[in-house]
Amino acid sequence: MQSVRFPRSRAEAIACDAEDPLAEARAHFNLPDDVTYLVGHSLGPPAMSALEALRRVGEHDWATGLVGSWNAAGWIDLPTVVGARVARLIGVPPTAVSVCDSVSINLFKLAGALLSSGTVARRIIVENGEFPTDQYILERLSTLQQADFVRADPGAGLDSLSGGGILVRSLVDYRTAAIADVKAVEQAAQRQGAVVIWDLSHATGIVDLRLEAWGARYAVGCSYKYLNGGPGAPAFLYVHPDHVDVLQTPLAGWLGHARPFAFEPTYDPADGVSRFVAGTPPILSLATFNGALDVFDGLSLRHLHDKAQALGDLCLAAFDRLGLETSSPPIGHPRGGHVTLRHPDGYAISRALAEQGYQTDFRPRDTIRFGMSPLFLRYVDVWDMSEALEDILLTRAYEDPRFAVKSKVT
């Protein structure tokens, strides 16, 4: 599976970088010299092409083109134009994706539309341990729509599907980076007359997704992690074209209307997944995200995933050597783009690492996440980080009281 050697020394790590078929992608980014960025699983850094798009949309399209840019710069079509680019990365037809709103809102719209479609039992199943917004949004939606809400144990969502319903599942777990077997879950769900909405937030741009081939019909996901769309960039929503016509979004906004500029008093849904665009898109963010996607042109998701996997294995080997515990799939086993380290002093250790320029993040109660974004991270970065980690643990530098003070965003 991996096209790279496993480095056993710093020199070998440097040699791996020299042979890396993705090495040139790093030149698309302009990261600060004193930072090793291991948080691409939370907020991807800006590619130069994203910053250029942001400048262009602000200084040219908005400043000069003014309102005419809705037509001249194609703003009005951006949700579907950018959607087609995302579609390639998740393995679905180009017309099957709209870029709009946040993951939270897209989940609400999609699950709400399915609940009222009459095509599936009025029951939503979410596993405990799913990303909190998924749990909150779906529980509230169930209350609003008077549907059953079922909380399943982690990994047991499928067991709750007899009788049908809507299972919401992350393709890559936000804590452990474990990857779901989409094809198997879809087959099991479809056997029971149930449907699955996939949350692709931690999967898009890092896993070689083939959603259509795997039988997946519905998904949502964000753009600001491995796709590097920028903070607050709009999310996306996928519905397979064979299943979209029966869906009515509960947020029937004018830009999801078949003829928005006819200004008709009653709602008539647009064709296809465009009906899920509710109100005016955040054009500055959407254009920036469009620019960010240039980096993926001509790149193979397979290569990206293989490199993330190899970097993660290197990191896990260091944890092993240091006697540290992980909750991520072990060396050689498929996982998403990050690896975890579990330690009772996890927060303080992540702060101590940050002070040396190694940025990671922390999730309660004891988990540090190390993002392995393959577009800009080098083998030598992971090697050096593991040496810094070893030093922090040996000297107990993390016990400095400064590192106990929690910041608002961790």
Ligand X SMILES: Nc1c(O)cccc1C(=O)C[C@H](N)C(=O)O
Question: Phi and psi at residue 139, in whole multiples of 5°?
Answer: -65, -45
- 104 near ligand PLP, rule: CB under 6 A: yes
* Whole-angstrom Cα Rg for the chain: 22
In the complex, the smallest distance separating the C-beta of residue 337 from ligand PLP, rounded to whole angstroms, is 12
Residue whose CB is nearest to ligand X in the complex, by number: 174
Stretch that binds ligand PLP, among 14-22, 32-40, 97-105, 312-320 (CB under 6 A): 97-105
Q: Which of residues 172-231 bind ligand PLP (CB under 6 A)?
A: 174, 199, 201-202, 222
How far CA 405 is from CA of 64, 142, 402, in Å, comes to: 47, 38, 6
- 42 near ligand X, rule: CB under 6 A: yes
Based on CB atoms, which residue is closest to ligand X, 135 or 190? 135
**Cα separation, 170 vs 184, whole angstroms:** 14
For residue 57, the one-letter residue type is V
Nearest to 385, CA basis, from 324, 334, 304, 300: 324
In the complex, the smallest distance separating the C-beta of residue 238 from ligand X, rounded to whole angstroms, is 18
Nearest to 235, CA basis, from 119, 134, 156: 134
Beta strand 165-170 with 194-199 is: parallel
Q: Out of ligand X, ligand PLP, none, which partner does residue 104 contact, by CB within 5 to 8 A per kind?
A: ligand PLP
379: tokens are 């083998």
Query: What character string, x for contact with ligand X (CB under 6 A) and - otherwise, covers 191-210?
Result: ----------x---------
**Cα separation, 409 vs 206, whole angstroms:** 24
- 174 near ligand X, rule: CB under 6 A: yes
**Cα separation, 4 vs 65, whole angstroms:** 48
**Cα separation, 334 vs 225, whole angstroms:** 19
158: tokens are 């499928």
Q: Per DSSP, what are the bridge partners of residue 257?
A: 269
- 67 near ligand X, rule: CB under 6 A: no
Q: Out of ligand PLP, ligand X, none, which partner does residue 133 contact, by CB within 5 to 8 A per kind?
A: ligand PLP
Q: Out of ligand X, ligand PLP, none, which partner does residue 96 contact, by CB within 5 to 8 A per kind?
A: none
- 223 near ligand X, rule: CB under 6 A: no
Based on CB atoms, which residue is closest to ligand X, 215 or 232? 232
250: tokens are 């509960």
Among positions 103, 147, 189, 227, the unique one binding ligand PLP when judged by CB under 6 A: 103
Interface with ligand X by CB under 6 A: which residues?
42, 174, 201, 409
Interface with ligand PLP by CB under 6 A: which residues?
102-104, 131, 133-134, 170, 174, 199, 201-202, 222, 235
Catalytic (active-site) positions: 131, 199, 224-225, 369
